[in-house]
A and B are shown apart, each in its own frame.
Chain A
Amino acid sequence: MNKFMACLFITPGLLAAGGTARADTHAVVESTRLYMDQETKVTFEYWIGRDRSSRTAAGRATITRDDLGLVWNLDLGGKSYTESVLRKPEAPPARHSPDMRKLWLEFYEPDYAWTITNTGSVKTVNGYECREFRAKGEADFAEMNAAYWICLTPGLPGAKAFHDYSLGQYQGDRRMAALLKILEDNPEGFCADRDEAVEPSIAPTSRAHTGLTKLEEAEAPAGTYEIPAGFRKLDGRGDR
């Protein structure tokens, strides 16, 4: 096969592959939280592109632009937003020589010791074949129990992008450390369903169920990763 013929075959292949690569990942997650007799349902919608993402829930949206190094937090009802610089989570401060003035422990961050168990149970969640992992986190003044249903089927559309996005979201979040570890150990896996019970140090128990209801590759609607026209910029921190 000469170079010309090779190009005839390779170019459409590249174009097709490029087309797939350009498609974004679209995920929808339904969450129900029960806390102090109140049930709160929230639907999270994610669009995940190569160097940008958008998460929308309960009248707010967070747009992360890795290409610009910026995060915008949008109040969709109030038509306003804050902007912050995208940073990696800061390392926890060293424990020696604390500044006693700021050593206020109301912001108790449980340092969970996790026990993770692959229970061997298998079930289908929204069409995804999943395995169950259970995690138990123990800290001095808090505890957490979770059941994670992880889909390990290789090659599902959007799975890899959703996996990678989830890793970024859970990094530095101690409550998500067990799920992070499970996902790190299963590079193509994603969590399709999870039940969590958190017993914090002071506040009452909270329970949450979170289920993935849609995962697909699709073209993001125009403007998904942009600040909508007419939105007012506010001063202040736009934490990720």
Chain B
Amino acid sequence: MRAMMNKKAVFPAIGLLLIIGGFPLGAEEKTDGLPEAVRIELLRLEETYHVLDHTAAKVWPGWTNYRNFPFRFSFENGLRVLVGHPSPPEGYALAPDIKVDGKPVHVDARRVEPLRLEQPLHAGGGISSLGRVDGKPVTLIDISLSRARPREDAGGRRFQAETTILTYIHELFHCFQEEHLRVPYPNFRYNPDTLFASYSEVEGAALEKAYEAGGPEEAKQHLKDFLLARKIKRRTMPEFDARCESGEEVREGTAVYAEVRSLEALGAGFKPQLTAARDPYYRGFTDLGALLRIYWARLDKRKALTYSYLKGYEYGCYQALLLERLFPGWQKPFSEKAGLLDEELGAQVGPGAEDERLAPRRFEKVYGFSRIRARHAKAVRERDTAYQAISSRQGRSYIVSFKPIRQFASALVDPRKKKYDVGLMDIFPGGVGTVKTDEIEIRFAKVPAEINQLYYFKVVDSGWKARKAPYQIRYEADEGGDIYSGVTLTTPLFELKAPRIRITEEAARVKIWILSRVS
């Protein structure tokens, strides 16, 4: 934030103290101050622009529009902050003493609950729209911020603000894609069978080997493997699904490519503006090697997963990186013809009939295909069995929704719990154990459980007919409208403690909404 906060104007406001202290505010005070955690987040956005000033032209020719898109930050306590929106909707008030890169900041604190915001916060999001200007919707980058946990795919590393800046670069590149890299296919949705999973792993391994190759000819040979594995993988796929998969690699892969290429470009003469004194989690991209290794580690890990809808991120990225390395100058014509990365590779290194004839032997010798196939066959069988078992449950359903507090349910479950993914359903045959966040705790019995639609736990009581009541509830206050505060809820399958819930009961279903994280 180049125009820093005017302390004289801000600090006298009771609102600042209240927000920082995590207490609810009176409406008139709601925009006068921002918590330190929010202020740091805005500094990261400002540093993002500074990074892109240094890197964008090296990422993609013509990428200059990265300052054109407003951001909306949604925090776990309900606070929402808009940066650079030309016409904020009702409910947002101008924060007069703060700007980000010269852009206005607006704050909506109407739904703030008394939860203290503290860094580090993990950023994730996507492209959305909010309001209209001159009759056209305003595209914006919608970022949700949640407390950061050591991420498995980052090797359990300590949080670094650089990853947030890279996330903002990723989303800004999506905005660039809107006009320069249009992908006319929807998201890829496909649950792998053994054939798909096995050849998908060969694809990933081939990309790895191509990237590590000692020279261009060796790299091209592995790219031929990639293309041939893909061809076999897609023999039983509908053409539309195949194009969705390739489309996702363009959409997400080039956005990850923008991150990686930015990191590579930062190696030459970058001087950070943000300092560790203002953001203690920022090191000014001093350890580029470690940051770059995160992407490599993700490719290496995801390639071997039977199921991961995130594979396209790394597969697309490394296809683009290889195109850049082997065929510099590829981007402009690629943008103009709205191409797909694998088609572009095919046009450049297209395998011949002899390559195709030799492929099975090569897959076995170079990649150990039989071993790969056996592993995925077992995983697919287990997944299908788990799905059949959980789908055939009969009884009274208990559904606990974390949607009102925007908490992804899977983030609360011990990652060591055995699970299977089927689309947006996570199946836990052995249950999810105890889940806990803030003042919410649920102790599940050891029964099969599912997480569905990101926010919901579902368990089924098959012995329900023998029970007198579906649950017992103790509470401090009945607020009416099925809402209770200070709750302990005991059911045959779990005990739940929460500051505030809503609960409804039907003949064979009990639904519980978690309404607050803290009392």
> Is B196 an interface residue, CB under 8 A from the partner?
yes
Contact A202 B453 (CB under 8 A): yes
CB pair A104 B511 closer than 8 Å: no
Q: Which residue of chain B has the shortest Cβ distance to A110 in the bound complex? A: B453
| Alpha-carbon distance A138/B505, docked complex (angstroms) | 10
Query: Is the pair B192, A101 in contact by a Cβ cutoff of 8 Å?
Result: yes
The answer to whether A138 touches B509 (Cβ under 8 A) is yes
Residue B360, interface by CB 8 Å: no
Is the C-beta of B424 less than 8 angstroms from some C-beta in chain A? yes
**Is there a chain A Cβ closer than 8 Å to B504's Cβ?**
yes
- Asked if B452 and A141 make an inter-chain contact with CB atoms under 8 angstroms apart, the answer reads yes
Query: Chain B, 387-398, contact with A by CB distance < 8 Å: what is the 0/1 string?
Result: 100010000010
- With beta carbons under 8 angstroms apart, the residue of B131, B132, B425 that contacts A105 is B425
Contact B196 A36 (CB under 8 A): no
How does the 8 Å CB contact mask read for B325-362 relative to A, with 1 for contact and 0 for none?
00000000000000000000000000000000000000
Interface size on A, as a range, is: 20 to 34
B430 CB–A CB distance under 8 Å = no
> Could you tell me the distance between the alpha carbons of A104 and B424 in the complex, rounded to whole angstroms?
7
Does B65 interact with chain A (Cβ within 8 Å)? no
Judge whether B130 is part of the interface by a CB distance below 8 angstroms.
yes
User: B193 touches which one: A38, A100, A104 (CB < 8 A)?
Assistant: A100
A37 touching B506, Cβ below 8 Å: no
Known: A138-B504, A140-B458. A105 touches B192 (CB 8 A): no
Task: Write the B184-211 contact mask toward A (1 if CB under 8 angstroms, else 0).
Answer: 0001011111001000000000000000
Is A76's beta carbon under 8 Å from chain B? no
B83 located at the interface, meaning its Cβ lies under 8 Å from any Cβ of chain A in the complex: no
CA distance A108 to B456 in the complex (A): 13
Contacts of B129 in A (CB 8 A): 38
> What's the minimum C-beta distance from B254 to chain A, rounded to whole angstroms?
22
Q: How far is the CA of A140 from the CA of B458 in the complex (A)?
A: 9
Q: Does A82 sit within 8 A of B, measured CB to CB?
A: no
- Other-chain residue from B90, B456, B458 in contact with A37 (beta carbon distance below 8 A): B90
User: B residues within 8 A CB of A108?
Assistant: 424, 452-453
Q: Is B269 an interface residue (CB 8 A)?
A: no
Complex Cα–Cα for A117 and B431 (A): 39
Q: Is the CB of A37 within 8 A of B130?
A: yes
A140 contact from B387, B424, B452, B454, Cβ within 8 A: B452
Q: Is A113 located at the chain interface by the 8 A CB criterion?
A: yes
Give the complex CA separation of A101 and B511 in angstroms.
Answer: 30
B380 proximity list for chain A (CB < 8 A):
100
Q: In this assembly, does A166 line the interface, its C-beta being within 8 Å of a C-beta of chain B?
A: no
> Could you give, for residues 496-513 of chain B, a 1 whenever the CB lies within 8 Å of some chain A CB and a 0 otherwise?
000000001010010100
Cβ–Cβ contact A100 & B128, under 8 A: no
Give A40 Cβ to nearest chain B Cβ, in Å.
Answer: 9
Question: Judging by beta carbons under 8 Å apart, are A103 and B91 in contact?
Answer: no
- Establish whether residues A100 and B399, one from each chain, have CB atoms under 8 Å apart when the complex forms: no
| A199: B residues at CB distance < 8 A | 403
A100 with B130, Cβ < 8 A, contacts A140-B399, A140-B452, A201-B453 known: no
Whether B509 contacts A140 by the Cβ 8 Å rule is yes
What's the least CB distance linking B219 to chain A, in Å? Answer: 32
Question: Shortest CB–CB separation between residue A79 and chain B, in angstroms?
Answer: 19
- Chain A residue at minimum C-beta to C-beta distance from B108: A37
A202 to B425 Cα, complex, angstroms: 13
A103, B422: Cα distance in complex, Å: 7
User: Given A102-B191, A140-B399, A141-B399, are A36 and B509 also a contact pair (CB < 8 Å)?
Assistant: no
Q: A105-B424, A108-B424 are in contact. List 5 more A-B contacts (CB 8 A).
A: A37-B89, A37-B131, A38-B132, A103-B422, A138-B511
Closest 10 CB pairs of A and B: A104-B189, A201-B453, A105-B423, A104-B423, A37-B89, A141-B453, A105-B424, A100-B191, A106-B424, A141-B456
**Could you name 7 residue pairs across A and B whose Cβ atoms are closer than 8 Å?**
A36-B130, A37-B89, A38-B89, A38-B130, A101-B192, A104-B424, A105-B423
